[in-house]
Structure 1
Amino acid sequence: MEHQLASQEWRPHVLAVPFPAQGHVMPLMKLCRKIADQGIKVTFVNAEHIHAKVLAAMSDEDKNQHCIELTSIPDGLQTEEDRKKGLIESLRRTIPRNLTRLIEKINCENSDEKISCVIADTTLIGWIHDVSQKMEAELVAFQPGAAADIALILQIPKLIQDGNLDTNGFVMKNDFINLSNEMPPWRRNELPWIVSSDLKDQKIVFECCQIAQQAVHQYTKWLLCNTFYELESSACNLIPNFCPVGPLFCSKISKSPASSGSILAEDTTCLSWLDKQKIGSVIYVSFGSLAILSQDQLNEIALALELSDRPFLWVVRSNLANKNGFLARVAERAKIVEWAPQEQVLSHSSIGCFVSHCGWNSTMEGLSMGVPFLCWPYFLDQFHNQNYICDMWKIGLRLNIDENGLRSSHEIKRKIEMLFADNSIKANALKLKDMARKSVSESGSSLQNFETFIDHLKK
């Protein structure tokens, strides 16, 4: 009888560990809220500086309604400047020790709710598998980006063996890597480990990808991803134990509260402003949480938006200088915010196009809402996402760089006009929206995958 009572009181407990960046925290947070909605306990572990930002960005209502436990561990660094230079190296040193201590503390405090599963970001999983084994918790991988990118990473040993890559991640044969005719190829400067022109940085990130490849291959039976099978079937078919559970939403078509784990406070005044605009008329401009643009480039964007004669919502993370009276001239048809509730913005009927850096979260959100793209990739996987958007799915256009290294006001204005006039792009965007919604609806592929995973956790 006592044994039977103990088994009834036990419930699974998931520990989730994202890489400390906005584009990694948000999708894993959305997944964890869905898991917690199924009665499973979830503890979400951010690096301390990210944890503080997430809490600061949450409303009091979200804090009260939050269905998962939020906690943190140190990343071993003191300043943002230190993180720019040495985050990956510091995480490699500190995560195993700090995560072990945290799990021991959690398990000691409640023996009926010990950590039974660790969901680790693929970027970190190579440094976490020993911890999960030691703590007797199942290790599950989570890929916050496209299936195509993890498919490429898992092919690294073969690509090196076949002479397509050298040991530093440089392309050796041809000018691109192609895994399938049904996927866009990666050009030599579009590989996900090309973070900058600094060869030392590239080597560190490439080694991180190799470690992730080994850990995913050897230690995980589940690889969850914020995509859906119908969107990336060719990439999905290349990956063992692959489990697409996207698109992951936090509002509108989700039962969870609106908070998404954003590290920046969302300015919701833009929603009432959108209510006043005509259907399909607004240009939404957002370059994510990391892109940095020169003042010259900001001026070109401002001029293009002014000349477009269309209403626009522009996310600018720091104060936009009021150069040449720009704000005064466009005040009647412009809204500028430091951060926006993007899912709600993109789902608004007034949005007509999305000028985007093509991060995977933004890509999934935009296509799930049926919004055409103007593509402005900044780094990492964003260039390959652009290739998907423009070449494979045909739901957007590229913004090309001129001889001065800028996307000119003329180019931006011309592509805005082209996009608003192209009915085929709009039609393709609506088809993908329907496909995305079906994947997370009853009997949809992603919902079935998620339910199978939940059943596994509860056994």
Structure 2
Amino acid sequence: MEREQGATLTHIVVLPYPLQGHINPMLKFSKRLATKGLKVTLLTPKSIVESMKGQATSVTFEPIDDDDDSGELIAAETMEAYDERFKAIFSHGLGGLIEKNKSYGYATKLVVYDCILPWAVDIAKQHGIGAAPFLTQSCTIAAIYYNLYQERFTLPLQEPEVLLPSLPLLRMDDMPSFISQPASYPFILRVCLEMFHNFHEVNWAFCNSFDKLEEEVVSWISSQWPIKNIGPTIPSMYLDKRWKDDKNYDLSLFKPSVDACMKWLDSKDTGTVVYVSFGSMAALGEEQMEELALGLKRSNRYFLWVVRESETKKLPTKFIEETTERSLVVTWCPQLEVLSHKAVGCFMTHCGWNSTLEALSLGVPMVVMPQWSDQATNSKCVMDVWKVGIRVKVDNKGMVTREEIELCINEVMGEKRKEMKRNALKWKKLATEALDEGGSSDKNIEEFVAKIVQI
């Protein structure tokens, strides 16, 4: 009861970057904090708050005007311009929210900010409160960028392989694309490094992972800055089942074909379906799209393929008609429901961190086809560290051929399936234990709450 009384006066502001893959993990963390008695307010664009209307949640939303009549968030010609406008609008909104809370009689004690928005620390300090970064990617990725920030290696990479503390030997094509191709993404690389410049000023750094998944790297990072794994940020009913109302992600910018997907899966035998999705952002070129389509066709397996509406024009002519007996192609689907369905035998994925965590947490083997950002490094871990999948090989033209796709699918669905499924189920068990009462992530959240209410 003592903690409850203190916690009701404890207010946390959460500031995510306005992308679906960033908002959902931070919102799930916010809801976990709310179950511990904290008051949590999420600061986000008005357009995103509008898309979530009608959903009951224990978290308060503070909408910030998008400053754009088109409905698109803060329209800007370049990423640099977008970043500057976002910073200007949201730094003002963050300061205003902190002051507004004071007038309501409770003080904000901490700002939890998306780690790529380090200016939030300065705003928090101006108002005399603390700030804590939230890492939406893995501890492994954080360690790589931190080593580069500390100049333990330099760019462009001079050697074909890099050995860093606590990490497996990494080839050039295992590195995040912002490092392996630094000239292509100079602004994003700068953002990924600048986030560390004020880590020495924070008392907590939260990460959407769990200790057992990245044990060695977590141990090493802990010696550098105060890491707290609080994941995986999967709805409770798929893992620890402690909160019956927590069944889905709160934000989906695409409308899923729920009934069509589940009805189709229900008609298939256990472990016979390849689920294919490349997330909300990845866009394959037309030639690669054709190779993927024909590789799926050649595998002679059932497949459920998410092809976003903007990508459907890239499908080969008559592909859907020619594969209709073995396939279902939809523009979006309820991914957690699909991955947890008994019919799904493997997940062909771009290996974004959220999708990777979902597959690990639901015990699904993977065929991984990374596109950019952290996905190559995640793929390295999926194949060589966690041993739950196969990474496709790229030919000398940078293409993944239909033959390679067919081969990898049939390996994961065939001869290697038992071993990979066994490993995947091990990670599922460990993910559930981390979030359950007394588990490592649950304890990290409990310890944080116990300290923040005393401030």
Per the normalisation by structure 2, the TM-score is: 0.87
Shift, 1:190, TM fit: 4.9
Shift, 1:76, TM fit: 7.1
After superposition, the Cα gap between the structure-2 partners of 1:257 and 1:390, relative to the gap in structure 1 and judged at 3 Å, is closer
Q: Which amino acid aligns with 1:345?
A: V
User: Aligned pair 1:127/2:119, yes or no?
Assistant: yes
After superposition, the Cα gap between the structure-2 partners of 1:178 and 1:198, relative to the gap in structure 1 and judged at 3 Å, is closer
After superposition, the Cα gap between the structure-2 partners of 1:179 and 1:227, relative to the gap in structure 1 and judged at 3 Å, is same
Answer yes or no: is the 8 Å Cα contact 1:54–1:261 preserved in 2.
no
User: Aligned pair 1:249/2:234, yes or no?
Assistant: yes
User: Aligned pair 1:282/2:273, yes or no?
Assistant: yes
Residue of 264, 267, 273 corresponding to 2:254: 264
Shift, 1:292, TM fit: 0.8
User: Aligned pair 1:427/2:425, yes or no?
Assistant: no
Partner of 1:154: 146
Partner of 2:210: 228
Answer yes or no: is the 8 Å Cα contact 1:184–1:384 preserved in 2.
no
Distance in 1, matches of 2:407 and 2:317, equals: 22
Q: Secondary structure at the match of 2:213?
A: coil
Q: Which amino acid aligns with 2:41?
A: T
Counterparts of residues 36-435 of structure 1 (less than 5 Å): 36-46=34-44, 48=45, 51-53=46-48, 55-56=50-51, 58=52, 60=54, 63=55, 65-73=56-64, 82=77, 84=79, 86-108=81-103, 110-112=104-106, 114-124=107-117, 126-158=118-150, 160=151, 162=152, 164-165=153-154, 169-172=155-158, 174-180=159-165, 183-188=167-172, 190-192=174-176, 194=178, 199=183, 202-216=185-199, 218-239=200-221, 240-250=225-235, 251-253=237-239, 254=241, 255=243, 256-269=246-259, 270-318=261-309, 320-321=312-313, 323-421=316-414, 422=416, 423-435=418-430
Distance in 2, matches of 1:190 and 1:94, equals: 36
After superposition, the Cα gap between the structure-2 partners of 1:187 and 1:12, relative to the gap in structure 1 and judged at 3 Å, is same
Answer yes or no: is the 8 Å Cα contact 2:179–2:189 preserved in 1.
no
User: Aligned pair 1:437/2:432, yes or no?
Assistant: yes
Answer yes or no: is the 8 Å Cα contact 2:306–2:331 preserved in 1.
yes
Shift, 1:146, TM fit: 0.4
Greater CA deviation, 431-440 or 71-80?
71-80
Shift, 1:368, TM fit: 0.9
Distance in 2, matches of 1:287 and 1:277, equals: 22
User: Aligned pair 1:452/2:450, yes or no?
Assistant: no
Shift, 1:103, TM fit: 2.5
- 1:242-274 deviations in Å (ceiling 9; x for gaps): 111111112433422523333333331212322
Answer yes or no: is the 8 Å Cα contact 1:76–1:91 preserved in 2.
no
Q: Which amino acid aligns with 1:15?
A: V
Distance in 1, matches of 2:406 and 2:8, equals: 59
Shift, 1:59, TM fit: 7.0
Q: Secondary structure at the match of 1:194?
A: helix
Distance in 1, matches of 2:160 and 2:267, equals: 48
Shift, 1:289, TM fit: 1.3
Distance in 1, matches of 2:50 and 2:66, equals: 17
Shift, 1:53, TM fit: 4.1
Q: Which amino acid aligns with 2:164?
A: L
Distance in 2, matches of 1:249 and 1:82, equals: 34
After superposition, the Cα gap between the structure-2 partners of 1:53 and 1:330, relative to the gap in structure 1 and judged at 3 Å, is farther
Partner of 1:16: 14
Shift, 1:81, TM fit: 5.9
Greater CA deviation, 96-105 or 16-25?
96-105
Shift, 1:293, TM fit: 0.7
Shift, 1:375, TM fit: 0.7
Q: Which amino acid aligns with 1:252?
A: Y
Shift, 1:142, TM fit: 0.9
Structure 1 unaligned segments of length 5 or more: list them: none
Q: Report the RMSD for the aligned CA atoms in angstroms.
A: 2.6
Answer yes or no: is the 8 Å Cα contact 1:121–1:144 preserved in 2.
yes
User: Aligned pair 1:26/2:47, yes or no?
Assistant: no
Q: Which amino acid aligns with 1:410?
A: E
